[in-house]
Amino acid sequence: MKRRAFLRAGLAGTVAGGAMLAAPAVHAEEKFRWRMTTSFPPGLPFYQSGPGSAEWIVKSIDEATNGRLKIKLFAAGELVKWNGGFDAVTGGTVEANSAVAYYWSGKVPALQYFGTVPFGMSFQGQNAWYYHGGGLKLWNEIYSDFGVIGMPCGNSGVQMGGWFRKPMNSLADFKGLKMRIPGLGGKIYKALGVNVKSLGGGEIFPALERGVIDAAEWVGPLQDRRLGLQKAAKYYYTPGWHEPSTTTELMISKKAFNALPKDIQAVVRQVAAAANIIAHTSAEALNGGALKDLVDNYGVITGPLPKDSVDAARKTTALVLEADAAADPVTRKVYDSYMDFQKRHTAWKDISETAYSAYVSGS
């Protein structure tokens, strides 16, 4: 009897132990279903479609989690307006949104720095600041008050200076000009006398075509061609001093993110980091061909912005950034971090990449 009792006890223990071992497998099969909006028109290369885009992110997370996290994606206007993503996530309508953080600078001015900074760091420096200089930590300190998490998931690199319906010959030509341009760049141009307009991507072409605006900035040749801006204006200027390194953000509800198992959280973070480099390099690979197409087949005229306009913009940028930092302690904290890192990074960049580029170009 004792032997049989012992065996029964042992069998029961084995079953119980097996159940305990099986428990993680049950947890591992838990399914999560999210909704995600973006600020970008359907099919827009780089942002909405293609390598490193929102569609790529959603698909990559699905594949990497074997379907445990599926995300239904909505382009701008399909669920909320192009500028409604912040409120949709913080209000619990959706779990995630992809946009550029400067769209929300009306809520927190310091968020400008997590989009781009006029005359600021390029792709390398901006991302070095995020990942290794405290930038990402500061970003999420701000977002913590809103119950969301932010992370980079793309970068345009240096953008073009914009599309203009008429030639720009001097700073005087900007006075009273109606131009679509967001973020700090818009704030700088406003200080220079430009009549700045805020429009979503899908609203730019009709406004430019009808003459509601005289000029517009979007991104670069690949994305601008998709919007058809070459059919509304012919003068396409450089450099994009206003956006030298524009970061696409993935904003996620902290509540939804914390409900995920640790392995899926890691997948989301790593997919976003992968998208950051993949989206950027796709733009670098495709912009040259797109620009050639615009010039050869659409009669687009490229050239530099008037030097006096860029010089004035640079001087005004320094004044505006310092004034904004003086007016708000959160902006001051981010400004100090960014500027300190830029100074240190530039010291290296000047004797490495800048020196190399100057030598190769013969300048």
Instruction: Dump pLDDT digits (tens) for 192-234.
Output: 999 999 999 999 999 999 999 999 999 999 999 999 999 999 9
Task: Please compute the mean of the pLDDT values over residues 100-120 and round it to a whole number.
Answer: 97
The answer as to whether 110 is a domain residue is yes
- Average confidence score pLDDT of the chain: 93
Reference 219, options 115, 312, 80; nearest CA is: 115
What's the pLDDT at 72? 98
Q: How confident is the model at residue 26 (pLDDT cuts 50, 70, 90)?
A: very low
The answer as to whether 85 is a domain residue is yes
Percent of the chain having pLDDT more than 90?
Answer: 91
CA distances from 304 to 73, 156, 165, 359 (A): 38, 19, 15, 21
What's the pLDDT at 84? 97
Percent of the chain having pLDDT more than 70?
Answer: 92
Q: What CATH number has the domain bearing residue 125?
A: 3.40.190.170
What's the pLDDT at 29? 79
Q: Which domain holds residue 46?
A: 30-156+245-285
The answer as to whether 132 is a domain residue is yes
Residue 16 in this model has a pLDDT that exceeds 80: no
Give residue-wise pLDDT tens across range 304-336. 999 999 999 999 999 999 999 999 999 999 999
What's the pLDDT at 11? 35
Q: How many domains does the chain have?
A: 1
What's the pLDDT at 363? 72
The answer as to whether 59 is a domain residue is yes
Q: How confident is the model at residue 19 (pLDDT cuts 50, 70, 90)?
A: very low
Task: Please compute the mean of the pLDDT values over residues 44-48 and round it to a whole number.
Answer: 96
The answer as to whether 129 is a domain residue is yes
Task: Please compute the mean of the pLDDT values over residues 273-290 and round it to a whole number.
Answer: 97
Q: How confident is the model at residue 7 (pLDDT cuts 50, 70, 90)?
A: very low
Residue 6 in this model has a pLDDT that exceeds 90: no
What's the pLDDT at 44? 94
The answer as to whether 308 is a domain residue is no
What's the pLDDT at 189? 97
Task: Please compute the mean of the pLDDT values over residues 76-101 and round it to a whole number.
Answer: 98
What's the pLDDT at 148? 98
Reference 350, options 155, 125, 135, 134; nearest CA is: 125
The answer as to whether 301 is a domain residue is no
* Distance between CA atoms of residues 277 and 144, nearest Å: 25
Q: Which residue has the tokens 């913590």?
A: 144
Residue 12 in this model has a pLDDT that exceeds 90: no
Contact 196, 186 (CB under 8 A): yes
Residue 20 in this model has a pLDDT that exceeds 70: no
List b or e across 210-241, with b for residues whose CB sees 16 or more CB atoms inside 10 angstroms: eeebbbbbbbbbbbbbbbebbebbbbbbbebb
Residue 246 in this model has a pLDDT that exceeds 70: yes
What's the pLDDT at 362? 85
The answer as to whether 306 is a domain residue is no
Please give the helix or strand (H or E) that residue 36 lies within, else none.
Answer: strand 32-38
